[in-house]
Amino acid sequence: MLTWWIMKKYIFQPSKLLYCSIIILIFSGVIGTVQADDVNARYGNAFMNDGAGAKALAMGGALTSLSDDAWSIFWNPAGLLKNQIKNAGLMHNDRFGGVVDFDAVALSFPQDDGSVLAVGLLRLGVNGIPFTRLEYPDRSIGNDNIVLVDKRVNDGEYALFFSRAFANRYGHWGITPKAIFKNIGSKNYSFGLGFDAGFQARPFEYIPVDVGVSIRDVGGTLLIWNTGHKEIITSTITMGLSGLINISALEARITPTMDIVYRTEFLGDSDAAELRAGLEYLIRDMFALRIGSRDANLTFGGGMNFKPISIDYAYVGHDDLGDTHRVSISIRWASWK
């Protein structure tokens, strides 16, 4: 009901978006912290932390101030307003040596009043998870009492996003109600409703430096399992900064970006804050090389822009969990404006 009320009052009435966003920025961290003490749902939003789009991953996930296309719905909904033509994105992510599949789709639609509507879907799946038991449950494990695979199940996590971005004299604002569904096998599943919010601005008109703030799971997102168990996904607050350096002689530009991510679920722990950073080197608006850092791991990637289609790739290596490859395609339809 809360999510529907937000959609009715603020998604469909963008003139009220600024006031809603100010309230969100002031209170979400406090509310999320209180709820984190009541119900511990650590890693409940882990599958949404990686957002979507290969460009973002290649730059360490530091896209809060830089996002500017349909993928913004997953990073910072305010970024949707930078792209005033209809665009779509498709992504496939082969994670941890093929153990995990991560897919996404996003669509954005500029409106006559200058705002932008968008919809996006994330899916993370793990197939063939073994449920094990001892051959003789009343005895200790050993050579004569081995572990048997009782059954194998599939795990799925889904998030459906609806977003609206709107501008005023202070900058760009976005708000995103979302619905979450999780299942483990066919007998255990949960539903959740929540919303995200974001802001982007260029504080000084003639200085190419952008700032951004995004808040995921504002005030906490409640997950209710069919077993009766309830969890709260607490808020994640991200602040970002990016710049632009033009190299006219080479027809290129360099874009450095940095994010600071604070997860209220880890309140009081050293893991609560995370630094992300990235760099893009773009040549003639066609070819891009990218590098980044996230969770102390280097990220790499590149992209090719063949208007109206662009293709991006990202790679992240991990000593223990294996390699991650992400490919995404973005399409823009200028004639649909």
Lowest-pLDDT range of 47-51, 57-61, 108-112, 221-225: 47-51
Question: Is residue 24 over pLDDT 70?
Answer: no
**Token pair of 105 as six digits:** 């789709």
Compute the distance between CA of residue 105 and CA of residue 70 in angstroms, rounded to an integer: 9
The DSSP code sequence of 245-303 is EEEGGGTEEEEEEEEEEEEGGGTTSGGGEEEEEEEEEEETTTEEEEEEEETTEEEEEEE
Q: How many beta carbons lie within 10 A of that of residue 100, not counting itself?
A: 18
Confidence of residue 334 (pLDDT cuts 50, 70, 90): low
> What's residue 219's pLDDT?
86
Confidence of residue 95 (pLDDT cuts 50, 70, 90): low
Q: What number is the average pLDDT over the span 219-248?
A: 90
Closest C-alpha to 135, from 127, 124, 143, 126: 143
> What's residue 328's pLDDT?
94
- Contact status, residue 200 vs residue 207, Cβ threshold 8 Å: no
Place of tokens 């790739």: 313
Mean pLDDT of the chain: 82
> What's residue 247's pLDDT?
92
pTM for the structure as a whole: 0.78
Q: What number is the average pLDDT over the span 258-283?
A: 88
Compute the distance between CA of residue 31 and CA of residue 150 in angstroms, rounded to an integer: 42
- Contact status, residue 179 vs residue 95, Cβ threshold 8 Å: no
Q: What number is the average pLDDT over the span 284-311?
A: 91
- Contact status, residue 146 vs residue 137, Cβ threshold 8 Å: no
Compute the distance between CA of residue 63 and CA of residue 80 in angstroms, rounded to an integer: 12
Phi, psi for 329 (deg, rounded to 5): -125, 135
Confidence of residue 96 (pLDDT cuts 50, 70, 90): low
Which CATH code, of 3.40.50.300, 3.40.50.720, 2.40.160.40, 3.30.365.10, is assigned to 2-336? 2.40.160.40
Confidence of residue 33 (pLDDT cuts 50, 70, 90): very low
> What's residue 4's pLDDT?
44
> What's residue 226's pLDDT?
87
Lowest-pLDDT range of 129-143, 202-216, 233-247: 129-143
> What's residue 153's pLDDT?
60
Closest C-alpha to 214, from 2, 58, 21: 21
**How confident is the model over 53-65, as pLDDT tens digits?**
999 999 999 999 9
Q: What number is the average pLDDT over the span 290-307?
A: 90
Question: Is residue 67 over pLDDT 50?
Answer: yes
Q: What number is the average pLDDT over the span 241-250?
A: 92
Question: Is residue 40 over pLDDT 60?
Answer: no
DSSP state for residue 7 in the 8-state scheme: I
Q: Where are the domains of the chain?
A: 2-336
**How confident is the model over 149-164, as pLDDT tens digits?**
766 666 788 999 999 9
Confidence of residue 90 (pLDDT cuts 50, 70, 90): very high
